[in-house]
A = this chain, B = another copy of it.
Amino acid sequence: MDLLKVLNVDELAHGLANLSMFPYFEMAHYVMSVISLREQPGALEVSRVSPFACWFSSMLFCFGGAVLSGIMLAEPPIAPLSNCTSVLMATAVWYLVFYCPWDLLHSCVAFLPLRLVLSVMREMTRTWRVLGGVTQANMKYKDSLLVLVAIGWARGAGGGLIRNFEQLVRGVWRPETNELLKMTYPTKITLIGAVLFALQQTQHLPVQKHHLMLVYTVFLVANTARMMLTGSTASPFAAIESLIHKTLFLGYSPYAALTSDIPDSCMGQAASNSSNKGAVKMHTAASQVNGEKPPLQAKDESENTGTRRHKKTN
């Protein structure tokens, strides 16, 4: 029975590894990416005033990972544009999401079961994108673990990592936040995937690639479905993150209790430097230690309220 079970899992893993992402899964990725863009504040207005800027933003949402990993490896960031079929598909999706008569496509995708299916299909492409990045990096930097992780991460979550510059295309500039300062769930899960696939590639993780693909994909899909069906935004890593943060990154003593020990130069600079737009205030860390939401987090959550149920994904 166990052997049969293992054989079935192995076959399933092989089947998944050989599954082609083109065209349906890629299409789902484009649809959910462009829907994600549409739900950004101001994006609809930009689509009416400047369709070209809107199209360019959509392409960055769809192909941002390939662009970013290309830049990091000194390969042409224009390369995704050479795949005419994919670009035409993404363009067709962009047009239908923003300009479809009676807003048909957007209304259909708002229907939860369909949105769930598309989100799940999209999450499956994440596995392929991360793996593609790790493989691409391994050709130039064989067995260089950090590079493999960085490129796998960029390829899988590039659209979010270059968010500031994609917003700039639409005339929006929000320097006070970015994906490094405040990582969203998709970016975190992609980073974890990149680490796992890089460890596997460099033989540090003794699992076979297709098994890891199966496990990672199942984890992605299960979490996405859970978050969409329950409406919960709680990250599955929240407890571990909190533990690691409190253990390793609170500095030379519990931050709140020893604010008086922080050199005056730091406090004075932080307090007086009013031109330091977007600097995270010192009480933020203290409030986090005390369990309160820091101002930045509270502000982001209130902005996200309108899109919470539909999961801003990347």
Which A residues contact B (CB, under 8 angstroms)? 39, 41-42, 44-53, 56, 70-78, 81-82, 84, 87, 98-104, 137, 140-141, 144-147, 150-151, 164, 168-178, 180-183, 245, 248-253, 255, 261-262, 265-266, 268-270, 273, 275-282, 284-285, 288, 294, 296, 303, 306-307
Contact = CB atoms under 8 A, between A and B. Distances in A.
7 contacts: A49-B181, A73-B76, A74-B76, A98-B251, A171-B280, A265-B307, A269-B306
Nearest to A167: B175
A268 to B, nearest CB: 6
A169 to B, nearest CB: 6
A107 to B, nearest CB: 9
A279 B54 CA distance: 12
Contact of A252 (B53, B76, B99, B303): B99
Contacts of A251: 47-48, 98-99, 103
Contacts of A270: 41-42, 44-45
Contacts of A50: 180-182, 280
Given A73-B78, A82-B144, A279 B99 contact: no
A42 B171 contact: no
A170 B270 CA distance: 13
B150 A78 contact: yes
